[in-house]
Structure 1
Amino acid sequence: MADPGKEAASMHKAATGLWAVGHHTTKPLQEFKSASYDLDALGALGSLLGAKSEIEEGMTTLSELTKQLDDEWEAEAKLIGEISDAFDLLDLLLAAQARAKKG
């Protein structure tokens, strides 16, 4: 069996990394959402193609999907953290059992 302490540390590191994802995506996502309502850069091309509303809708959809991913990653980070805590507890219980057998 793998060392529960090492497994716990590894999972804790993974959970911490997943928690950090949201901090890195918040500002870019807000900027992206803002840009979806300001498509003047398309100029006449956007008007000629009638693409402005479709682009706005696509950008909104991408923003919503990104938020859903962030929520999913946060939930996964929480679960991994709980599993890490379980491995920490298992490690303590195994150590206590080993001490009891010696003593």
Structure 2
Amino acid sequence: MADLAKEAASLHKAASGLRTVRQHTAKPLQEFESASHDLSALGALGSLLGAKGDIEEGMTTLVKLAKQLDEEWETEAKFMGDVSDAFDLLEVLLTAAARAEKG
């Protein structure tokens, strides 16, 4: 039963970590998204090569993918939290069953 407690604690810690990812990525992602609309650093070279549109499209795609990852990690964190809660409940039930057997 101690193993269940360790697993539950580990899952809970991992879920908490996943939930904080968005806090750390929100600002850099917003800055990256803003930069995709201001590619003036490419100057004339970017315009001549027609790269500006391709680069902007690629950056926009990366932003969308990063947002999807945030959503996926949030879903994973919820699932891990649910499994952790289930382990906690199972441990309580097993402990109660063991006490009942001892009488």
Residue of structure 2 in register with 1:82 after alignment: 82
d(CA) in 2 for partners of 1:56, 1:100: 66
**Displaced runs of 4 or more, over 3 A:** none
1:101 Cα deviation from its structure 2 partner: 1.8
Structure 1 equivalent of residue 37 of structure 2: 37
| Alpha-carbon distance between aligned partners in 2 of 1:100 and 1:57, rounded to the nearest angstrom | 64
- Identity among equivalent positions (%) equals 73
Q: Which moved more, 1:90-99 or 1:53-62?
A: 90-99
| Helix, strand or coil at the partner of 1:37 | coil
- What are the residue-to-residue correspondences of 1:3-82 with 2, within 5 Å? 3-82=3-82
Aligned partner of residue 3 in structure 1, secondary structure: helix
Cα distance, 1:37 vs structure 2: 0.2
Q: Matches of 1:26 and 1:37 in 2, distance apart?
A: 17
What is the root-mean-square deviation in Å for CA atoms of aligned residues? Answer: 1.3
Q: Distance in 1 between matches of 2:6 and 2:100?
A: 22
Structure 1, unaligned stretches of length 5 or more?
A: none
Structure 2, unaligned stretches of length 5 or more? none
2:96 is matched with 96
TM-score, with normalisation over the residues of structure 1?
Answer: 0.95
In the alignment of these two chains, the number of paired residues is: 103
Alpha-carbon offset, residue 97 of structure 1: 1.2
